[in-house]
Amino acid sequence: MKPATSPRRRPPRRHAQIHLPPLDAGYALTLAGIFERAIAALWRAHGDRMAELLTMRDSARRAPRPARPAARGRDLADDDKLF
């Protein structure tokens, strides 16, 4: 039985998807070749800037996250407790 108030779940992250009909091996290989050529063309046209963005994303992932501020009324230093 579900509780009356259940915590809200976050919606799943949406990712780019391509829905394809069932393919035989020949069409699948042709499609893979098309994707490889398209990716190569994107790198030729925008590779320098894409490499910069990848570097920035990697450094942002590795950067430590700032500590969360203490909740009000908790974890206060003795000097902060006036009364």
Q: Report the residue count for the chain.
A: 83
Please spell the DSSP secondary structure of 51-68, one letter per residue: HHHHHHHHHHHHSPPPPP
pLDDT-derived band at 5 (thresholds 50, 70, 90) equals low
Condensed to tens digits (0 to 9), the pLDDT of residues 9-64 reads 888 878 888 899 999 999 999 999 999 999 999 999 999 999 999 999 888 887 67
Q: Parse the chain into domains and list their residue ranges.
A: 25-58
Contact indicator for 62, 56 with CB cutoff of 8 Å? no
Residue with tokens 């320098």, as numbered in its chain: 48
Contacts of residue 76, defined as CB under 8 A and 6 or more positions apart, other chains included, come to: 70
Contact indicator for 70, 76 with CB cutoff of 8 Å? yes
pTM: predicted TM-score of the whole model, two decimal places: 0.50
